[in-house]
Amino acid sequence: MQRAALRALCGAARAPPARFFRAALPVLAADKESLLQLRRRTGLPFLRCQEALLRCGGDMGQAEAWLQEQARQQGWSKATQVGGRRTREGLVGLLREGPAAVMVEVNCETDFVARTPEFQRLVEEAALGTMAHCRAAAAPPAACTKHMLQADELAQLRTGAGGGPLRDHLALAIGKLGENLTLRRAAWLRVPEGDGYIAAYTHGWLPAPVATGPPVAMGTYGALVACQVPEPRPSVATLEEVGRKVAQHVVGMAPTAVGTPQDQPRGGGEEEEEEETRLLAQSFLLEPGLTVGQFLGARGGPLAVRDFLRFHCGEETPPSAG
């Protein structure tokens, strides 16, 4: 009996010490669905989303708000680190809504980041914020109006009622993408609702739409052309066709002024024609035998160009238009 007791005591002495583990909280099926949903909403890693849900007792709204605040803080910190890097890539975004149209330029460091849904969403948010600002800025105009926004003004715009400023969206994107990003500029054109029309064209690779609202066209070049429409008013299909061709010409030939319908190319040589900067006097890109003014007279009925905007992503000195 004593020997058995001694063997038991010796065995216990030789046994390894007990270890205590803190078991992870089980994730139920409902929690997994919440985790996936939170991941889709925020684009943040699963572990961060799980941490947010645990901190907030499974409340989706609180978890998302906590994650966004954390991401903003990390984004501002990251923005300080990468702020000196050059941003020559990016996208131009265009949005048309009736008699108003906006164009924005958002820049990044690499073409790879420009192709990501996160970056494209930032371009979309910038366009939506600029359109909201355009709509609220003034009453519908009696003539064509144009307005330019620089980077600091653009960063203060909000994407909608109750939405945060674009600078916060920029910080979130920097935190997620790890590159320096800049809201470079924005502009809008507005025309009278009765006899106005705005044509648009983007050039370059076109990403798949990421918008859930109005579609924002994207490319590396963009142009908006404000027109006065004659009576009888041409069909929508004709306006779209003619307007798109003129906007395409603006992208390709980079005019700096509208000119008048009576303008003819300066000089007669090929070199002088290439140096012509008045839109209506330029040789039309798609029909070189005509000037733009002559093309509009023949196809537009005549459609009268009042103003235009042209952006080239990453250009050093934006050309003035007017």
Is pLDDT of 5 > 60?
no
Q: Where are the domains of the chain?
A: 31-83, 91-312
238-270: pLDDT as tens digits = 889 999 999 999 999 999 999 987 777 776 555
60-87: pLDDT as tens digits = 778 777 777 766 666 554 545 555 678 8
Report the interhelical angle of 117-137 vs 166-177 (nearest 10°). Answer: 170
DSSP 190-226: E--TTTEEEEEEEES--PPP--SSS--EEESEEEEEE
Is pLDDT of 119 > 90?
yes
Range with the lowest mean pLDDT among 8-22, 194-208, 272-286?
A: 8-22
In the chain, % helix, strand, coil (3-state, to 5) comes to 45, 20, 35
Closest CA to 186 of 120, 262, 129, 264: 129
Put the strands of the sheet holding 304-312 in their side by side order. Answer: 196-203, 221-228, 304-312
Q: Which CATH superfamily is domain 91-312 in?
A: Elongation factor Ts, dimerisation domain (3.30.479.20)
Asked if residues 155 and 183 have their Cβ atoms less than 8 Å apart, the reply is yes
Is pLDDT of 277 > 90?
yes
DSSP tag of 279: G
230-243: pLDDT as tens digits = 888 888 888 899 99
pLDDT at residue 73, rounded to an integer: 63
pLDDT at residue 26, rounded to an integer: 47
% of the chain residues with pLDDT over 70: 74
Q: Between 3.10.110.10, 3.30.70.600, 1.10.10.10, 1.10.8.10, what CATH number should domain 31-83 receive?
A: 1.10.8.10
158-202: pLDDT as tens digits = 876 667 889 888 888 888 888 889 999 999 999 998 889 999 999
28: left (phi over 0), alpha (psi -120 to 50) or beta: beta
7: Cβ–Cβ under 8 A, 6 or more apart, which residues?
none
pLDDT-derived band at 53, boundaries 50, 70, 90: confident
Q: How far apart are CA 29 and CA 27, in angstroms?
A: 7
